[in-house]
Chains A and B, each alone.
Chain A
Amino acid sequence: QKEVEQDPGPLSVPEGAIVSLNCTYSNSAFQYFMWYRQYSRKGPELLMYTYSSGNKEDGRFTAQVDKSSKYISLFIRDSQPSDSATYLCAMRTNFGNEKLTFGTGTRLTIIP
């Protein structure tokens, strides 16, 4: 079993829709949770960074962490064609080095 599970999609939604992306994990030592966006043939770009449980909002993006369920989510409101990309969840513990453990990524397409 992988430490981090993420539905690879692909996921296609119409422009303006609310998008929900999710990851589950098995390692209860994970404390820091991130979402990265990766356009085709580019490096991942940090979108959201959350410590422990709770919600964080930044513009059209909201990240949620539920440590009791080992479940994290990213919501995108008023989705735009420019949001079409692969979204990667990543997480790490609070110990030692900053190794990130990633999900496989969800490929998202916003249809104009």
Chain B
Amino acid sequence: ETGVTQSPTHLIKTRGQQVTLRCSSQSGHNTVSWYQQALGQGPQFIFQYYREEENGRGNFPPRFSGLQFPNYSSELNVNALELDDSALYLCASSDAGTSGTDTQYFGPGTRLTVL
């Protein structure tokens, strides 16, 4: 069984640029959630995708957007980067709809630095 993978591991961008982060879900999982974790803080929910549709969104502006593909992998896009977007971006996959197995398993994260 393959775990959750994310790419790239690290990324440095400048203010105003755009970035795309990628996530491959764990085998058999149909749901992907994205979280932002600032230094010294707990992860904050950005949004979730279930079977290619957005299934809930946290308190993040529209410049944070996402996609889920038919193979359940996902992308997080952030436009017009701001300094406060510097954080660890975590992807978590789960198998929604299967009783008792809807726990979220996290990938290693992508560390984004905005200069």
List chain A positions with a Cβ less than 8 A from chain B: 4, 6, 8, 34, 36, 41-46, 49, 88, 90, 96-105
Closest residue of A by beta carbon distance from B4: A43
Given contacts A88-B42, A104-B40, list 4 more A-B pairs with CB under 8 A. Answer: A41-B111, A98-B104, A99-B45, A100-B35
**Known contacts A41-B111, A43-B90; A104/B55 CB under 8 A:** no
On chain B, the residues within 8 Å of A36 by CB distance are 106
Give Cα distance in the complex from A46 to B102, angstroms. 12
Interface residues on B, range: 20 to 34
On chain A, the residues within 8 Å of B102 by CB distance are 98
Of B45, B55, B106, B111, the residue contacting A45 (CB under 8 A) is B106
Instruction: Answer whether residue B109 sits at the interface, using C-beta atoms and an 8 A cutoff.
Output: yes
Residues B106 and A44 in contact, CB atoms below 8 Å apart: yes
Give Cα distance in the complex from A84 to B55, angstroms. 35
**Known contacts A41-B111, A42-B109, A98-B94; A6/B31 CB under 8 A:** no
**Interface bits B90-113 vs A (CB < 8 Å: 1, else 0):** 101010100000111111110100
Residues B42 and A103 in contact, CB atoms below 8 Å apart: yes
List chain B positions with a Cβ less than 8 A from chain A: 4, 6, 31, 33, 35, 40-45, 48, 50, 55-56, 58, 88, 90, 92, 94, 96, 102-109, 111
- The binding surface of chain A is classed by DSSP as loop
Residues B50 and A105 in contact, CB atoms below 8 Å apart: no
Question: Closest CB of chain B to A104's CB: distance in Å?
Answer: 5
Residues B104 and A100 in contact, CB atoms below 8 Å apart: yes
Residues A8 and B40 in contact, CB atoms below 8 Å apart: yes
